[in-house]
Structure 1
């Protein structure tokens, strides 16, 4: 029920209907509060903490998922290829840990969060999670003193942490109706400062109102693997002709479904709430030969024996694809900092 209500609210925020009109005065008050907080920082009444290494902040102002995690993974991989030693800090959405926690490749997603766990598994970089990003950054640097750049997974609105590079992400929904919460889907005005704007959308999809000099990111599906037997691999094309259910517990499931349709697959959709808490019952009543899940969901499913041993479940990993020039620009900016 909650997932249905959230989906209905997001649909309403894509246009300027009655809901936007009713809450427009409240959204203007929300904007004043944001501007007041920023003003305190600019005037020096509220301090920011600067870490000993450059900080790259990856975030969005559109509420919900826009593809930050694949971009964080791409950034970490690019920095490592350039000889850097990146580390990642994250809030760890849904994490139960109250203190700063290091993410290991076998950590429980329920403790550290599904996205930080996926980042740790894909990048082999040190990852720390915690509500206090300054404390998380300090803990990471203390544990891994060779770290020379930190990537913050989300946290644009965590103003206590000073940042050297800000990357603002959008997807094909753009800015929605352009209003701030609760009249629209935006946490901050679209005019907020940033160093880079990244649009996560397929080629041919144009979005207006997100700024100039937009870098395009595409999510490309990698080789699929069976959750019960990861050594078994295949491609999306080889899934044709099977009875398929595609499940996604991510911020914008339709983006995942559109990618599968573009690969020529026909399937039943199972849109789950973002950061869905999987149980042994999640897929029990699904009548399908194949259940396709996202890599983000896989880190949780493999920690449940009933799902880990379900031979119907196949994982669809994706990799971010961006202009190679972006990495060069980023490295230049870091070196200048």
Structure 2
């Protein structure tokens, strides 16, 4: 059923017309919600630091997390002290909590752990994004290092949190599917919603004239167990690839593009919590298990020697980074003034 819906979301299928009542209801609810915020019946709440939202219009993995890591590192290189907030999807914790390199991913979610591991930034997760933002603001101030910016991992549709700017990530292959809103199509909101974004990012594929092309550049394969470099040539080994991300095929394509012909590709639900026996059953003693970095943060505690992961880095043209630097300077100056 899931495979049928994903295919129908890309190329419209007449059976989707059965969902018209739900589509109409969803459209009315989202439109009413936007209207309530626009006319002030519902209030957006600001925090004491400018917030940059990194989000997307469609469901499924679009590549937001590599963008957040890239943006935070870029802002740090400009001299800004940056914190990150997230809903913490996949985490079981109900409260607002700080995330560090030792936080259990079952509590905070996989993506927050990955972001902290790669950036070393101050980060909080929770259902209440405003509470999460205020928590890291207080933590930074108590440490004598006030934040200059907060980056929100997702939250484009979280209108309660007032934002200084938005960055929208687009899947360059799937784009906006059949163009319909949920549940007939994959879109949470219509494409007009991107008109005020300071940056529209196309993850792979062919970008439009007003979009910046993002390339995910693979690094070296690393051991899930101890993060050491895997020195064997995986293209000459028996391998199985697995991915529990929004769009597993992107990882499988990356593996194939590296010249690795896998024996099997196994996709799991996004944010899935793994059990050791589930993953051990995927490979035999002669096979390597290949996974994403997002999966690896959840498997380190029980990883076998033949499990490895592939870090990827988001890269852009230098002009994109210069344009963002200028936008950030304007936001920071205007906010402080």
Fold match (TM-score > 0.5): yes
Aligned partner of 1:295 in structure 2 is 293
**Is the deviation greater in 48-57 or in 11-20?**
11-20
What are the residue-to-residue correspondences of 1:90-169 with 2, within 5 Å? 90-145=86-141, 146-169=146-169
Is 1:79 the counterpart of 2:75 in the alignment?
yes
> Secondary structure of the equivalent of 1:213?
coil
Alignment of 1:264-279 (within 5 A): 264-267=259-262, 268-279=264-275
SS at match of 1:106: coil
Task: Please give the TM-score of this superposition, normalised by the length of structure 1.
Answer: 0.91
Q: How does 1:1-337 map to 2 (within 5 A)?
A: 5-145=1-141, 146-171=146-171, 172-193=173-194, 194-201=197-204, 205-206=205-206, 212-234=209-231, 238-267=233-262, 268-285=264-281, 286-287=283-284, 288-303=286-301, 305=302, 307=303, 310-337=304-331
Task: Give how far 1:212 is off.
Answer: 4.9
How far is 1:50 from its partner? 1.2
Secondary structure of the equivalent of 1:156?
Answer: coil
SS of the residue corresponding to residue 167 of structure 1 reads: strand
* Greater alpha carbon shift after TM alignment, 250-259 vs 23-32: 23-32
Q: Distance in 1 between matches of 2:326 and 2:47?
A: 19
Tell me, in whole angstroms, the C-alpha distance in 2 between the residues paired with 1:102 and 1:320: 25
Q: Which moved more, 1:81-90 or 1:31-40?
A: 31-40
Please state how far the C-alpha of 1:178 moved relative to its aligned partner. Answer: 0.5
Question: Offset at 1:19?
Answer: 3.1
Contact 2:90 2:272 in 1 (8 A): no
Task: Give the 3-state SS of the residue equivalent to 2:322 in structure 1.
Answer: helix
TM-score (norm 2): 0.91
Cα distance in 1 for residues equivalent to 2:218 and 2:326: 30
Is the CA contact (8 Å cut-off) linking 1:199 and 1:215 kept in structure 2?
Answer: yes
Equivalent residue of 1:206, what SS?
A: coil
Residue ranges of structure 2 left out of the alignment (5+ in a row): 332-337
Tell me which moved more, 14-23 or 100-109. 14-23
Counterparts of 1:325 and 1:78 in 2: how far apart (Å)? 13
Q: Could you tell me how far apart the structure 2 residues matched to 1:19 and 1:60 are?
A: 26
Q: Is residue 220–residue 229 contact of structure 2 (8 Å, CA) maintained in 1?
A: no
Aligned 8 A contact 1:215 1:322 in 2: yes
In structure 2, distance between residues paired with 1:98 and 1:212: 42
1:206 deviation in Å? 2.7
- Report if the CA contact (8 A) 1:89-1:151 is conserved: yes
Distance 1:272 1:70 in 2: 20
2:98 and 2:322 map into 1 onto residues whose CA distance is 29
Count of residues in correspondence between the two structures: 321
TM superposition shift of 1:13: 1.1
2:203 touches 2:213 (CA, 8 Å); kept in 1? yes
Structure 1: runs of 5+ lacking an equivalent: none
